[in-house]
């Protein structure tokens, strides 16, 4: 197997009404972006509990993004 | 019916849980009437060999306090598990690691360096560190192995009940003893001697929606005895801490330090408290929020005071 460089895993908590809409629009518009980001849709970024961030990092995520 | 057989043991603990049991005062006589104490190192003269000689399941209820810091703690925990029908993780240390669990902020090497080399009162020219086996002219000495981190009791054995507190209050201990003696224990896995709701529910202080511009330490302000401590800018763990202690600290104008531990379903008490604390910060600017939060002294040690090994952070890596 070919040796690859570091590929971070990023968990993104996206608000249904804005940032998730943006990500959805990126898909509809067929914009290409790296697959490192794993999106978790939340109904509001206010729903994101610090526990989610800790849990993501302790389960192996390299970065966490909260957008909304 | 033969008398109930009780055991109590301390792992990595301060002995405060034992004192809390003795604080049931003259009721200890009633306890002795209802149950035989068959192992309790701090109060009754039984040896490990007596414990080993008991048949499996001989002890009805074992109250285990203290965390698992070394191989002796783990060995006795496993031995007691084998000899006991019901195991109770008694006190904050046994449930989530407690105060000894704060050692998990440091690695074993750091702890040894501090304890055996760096403290001003230590003279250790030969840089001697404890080893588990030591040859002496008189024979071989065994010393328990100091683990790389502090564990909770449930990390090493199965536990039936959890009784929180640092220490559990004597009233609650007596209630639980009564429940044990009368056989009215809740389903396995339950928390006993406490309530399944936050301390704020039992706090008589007036809560408004007041937010704070600054956090204080208790000696820095005159505490109003009637209003919410968190809203006065004191770092009170009440919102994320189990009720059942009788509000001893908040009743004495002292913020809750969280000794009754996180509520059911909470995987990381510190993360929950960050959420609670953020909700009372009075600002819209990230810079000012940073400044306000930076007033909190030793956030990690404060938020995880009793629960580091039982949290997601767990230990220094």
Contacts of A54 in chain B (CB under 8 A): 268, 271, 312-313
Please report how the helices A50-58 and B269-278 are oriented relative to each other, as an axis angle in degrees rounded to 10. Answer: 150
In this prediction, residue B3 carries a pLDDT of 86
A54 and B272: CB-CB below 8 Å?
no
Percent of chain B at pLDDT exceeding 70? 100
User: Could you identify the residue written with the tokens 């971070």?
Assistant: A8
Rounded-to-integer distance, Cα B109 and Cα B132, Å: 15
Question: Residues B221-243: pLDDT tens digits?
Answer: 999 999 999 999 999 999 999 99
A64 CA: distance to closest CA in chain B (Å)? 15
Across chain B, mean pLDDT equals: 93
B307 CA: distance to closest CA in chain A (Å)? 14
Under DSSP, the state recorded for A47 is: G
A65 CA: distance to closest CA in chain B (Å)? 16
Question: Residues B41-89: pLDDT tens digits?
Answer: 999 999 999 999 999 999 999 999 999 999 999 999 999 999 999 999 9
Using a CB–CB cut-off of 8 Å, the residues of A that contact B are: 49-51, 53-55, 58
B34 pLDDT band (50/70/90 cuts)? confident
Rounded-to-integer distance, Cα B61 and Cα B90, Å: 11
B63 CA: distance to closest CA in chain A (Å)? 31
Task: Give pLDDT tens digits along chain A (68 positions).
Answer: 556 789 999 999 999 999 999 999 999 999 998 899 999 999 999 999 999 999 999 999 999 999 98
In this prediction, residue B116 carries a pLDDT of 95
Give the bridge partners for B191, in sequence order: B162
Contacts of A47 in chain B (CB under 8 A): none
Question: Residues B251-263: pLDDT tens digits?
Answer: 999 999 999 999 9
The side-by-side arrangement of strands in the sheet containing A63-67 is: A37-42, A10-15, A63-67
A51 and B313: CB-CB below 8 Å?
no
Residue pair B101/B308 in contact (Cβ under 8 Å)? The answer is yes
* Chain A residue whose CA is closest to B269: A51
A50 and B313: CB-CB below 8 Å?
no
Residues near B253 by beta carbon (within 8 Å), at least 6 away in sequence: B218, B223, B225, B229
Q: Is A55 helix (H, G, I), strand (E, B) or coil?
A: helix
Q: Which two tokens stand for residue A49?
A: 């509990």
Mutation choice for B interface testing from A54, A57, A60, A64 by most B CBs within 10 A: A54
Mutation choice for B interface testing from A50, A55, A56, A66 by most B CBs within 10 A: A50
Mutation choice for A interface testing from B273, B300, B312 by most A CBs within 10 A: B312
Question: Residues B267-292: pLDDT tens digits?
Answer: 999 999 999 999 999 999 999 999 99
CA atoms within 13 A on the CB side of B211: 13
Question: Residues B106-136: pLDDT tens digits?
Answer: 999 999 999 999 999 999 999 999 999 989 8
In this prediction, residue B7 carries a pLDDT of 95
Q: In chain B, what are the domains? A: 4-99+148-181 (3.40.50.700), 106-146 (no CATH), 199-303 (no CATH)
* Chain A residue whose CA is closest to B277: A50
Q: Which two tokens stand for residue B233?
A: 């800018």
Question: Residues B180-202: pLDDT tens digits?
Answer: 888 888 999 999 999 999 999 99
In this prediction, residue A2 carries a pLDDT of 58
B211 CA: distance to closest CA in chain A (Å)? 18
A55 and B275: CB-CB below 8 Å?
no
A57 CA: distance to closest CA in chain B (Å)? 10
In this prediction, residue B93 carries a pLDDT of 96
The complex scores an ipTM of 0.80
Cα distance from N-terminal residue to C-terminal residue, chain A = 39
B274 and A50: CB-CB below 8 Å?
yes
B312 and A49: CB-CB below 8 Å?
no
Q: Which two tokens stand for residue B197?
A: 């709701």
Q: In terms of residues, how long is chain B?
A: 317
Under DSSP, the state recorded for A41 is: E
In this prediction, residue A29 carries a pLDDT of 96
Q: What is the DSSP string of chain B?
A: -PPEEEEEEESB--SHHHHHHHTTTTHHHHHHHHEEEEE-TTTS---HHHHHHSPTT-EEEEEEESBEEEHHHHHHHHHHHHHEEEEEEESHHHHH-TGGGGGGGS-HHHHHHIIIIISTT---TT-----SEEEETTEEEE---EEEEEE-HHHHS--SEEE--SSPPHHHHHHHHHHHHTT---STT-B-SS-SSBGGGG--SB--S--BS--B-GGGSPPPSSB-TGGGTB---GGGBB--S-STTGGGT-----TT-BPTT-S-HHHHHHHHHHTTB--S-HHHHHHHHTTSSSHHHHHTTTTSTTSSS-S--
* Chain B residue whose CA is closest to A48: B275
Rounded-to-integer distance, Cα B249 and Cα B225, Å: 12
Is the CB of residue B277 less than 8 Å away from at least one CB of chain A?
A: no
Neighbours of A15 (CB within 10 A): 20
B267 and A51: CB-CB below 8 Å?
yes
Under DSSP, the state recorded for A64 is: E
Q: State the pairing for strand pair B84-90/B59-65.
A: parallel
B1 pLDDT band (50/70/90 cuts)? low
């Amino acid at each position: 197997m070919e040796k690859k460089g570091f590929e971070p895993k990023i968990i993104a908590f996206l608000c249904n009404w804005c940032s998730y809409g943006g990500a959805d629009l990126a898909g509809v518009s067929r914009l290409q972006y790296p697959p490192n980001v794993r999106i978790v849709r939340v109904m509001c970024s206010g729903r994101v509990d610090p526990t989610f961030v800790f849990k993501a990092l302790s389960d192996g995520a390299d970065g966490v993004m909260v957008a909304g | 019916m033969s008398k109930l057989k009780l055991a109590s043991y301390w792992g990595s603990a301060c002995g405060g849980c034992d004192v809390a049991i003795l604080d049931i005062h003259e009721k200890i006589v009633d306890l002795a009437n209802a149950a035989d104490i068959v192992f309790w190192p701090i109060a009754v003269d039984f040896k490990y060999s007596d414990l080993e000689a008991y048949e499996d399941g001989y002890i009805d209820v074992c109250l285990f306090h203290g965390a698992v810091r070394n191989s002796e703690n783990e060995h006795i925990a496993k031995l007691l598990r084998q000899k006991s029908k019901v195991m109770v993780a008694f006190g904050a240390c046994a449930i989530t690691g407690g105060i000894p669990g704060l050692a998990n902020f440091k690695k074993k090497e750091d702890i040894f360096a501090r304890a055996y080399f760096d403290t001003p009162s230590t003279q250790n020219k030969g840089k001697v560190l404890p080893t588990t086996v030591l040859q002496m002219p008189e024979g071989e000495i065994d010393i328990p192995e100091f683990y790389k981190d502090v564990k909770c009791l449930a990390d090493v054995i199965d536990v039936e009940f959890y009784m929180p507190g640092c220490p559990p209050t004597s009233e609650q201990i007596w209630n639980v003893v009564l429940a044990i003696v009368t056989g009215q224990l809740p389903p396995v896995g339950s928390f006993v001697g406490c309530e399944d709701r936050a301390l704020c529910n039992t706090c008589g202080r007036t809560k408004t929606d007041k937010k704070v511009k600054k956090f204080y330490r208790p000696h820095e302000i005159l505490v109003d005895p009637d209003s919410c401590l968190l809203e006065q800018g004191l770092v009170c763990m009440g919102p994320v801490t189990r009720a059942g202690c009788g509000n001893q600290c908040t009743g004495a104008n002292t913020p809750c330090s969280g000794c009754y531990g996180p509520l059911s379903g909470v995987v990381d008490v510190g993360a929950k408290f960050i959420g609670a604390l953020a909700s009372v910060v009075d600002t819209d600017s990230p810079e000012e929020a940073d400044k306000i939060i930076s007033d909190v002294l030793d956030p990690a040690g404060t938020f995880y005071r009793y629960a580091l090994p039982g949290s997601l952070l767990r230990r220094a890596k």
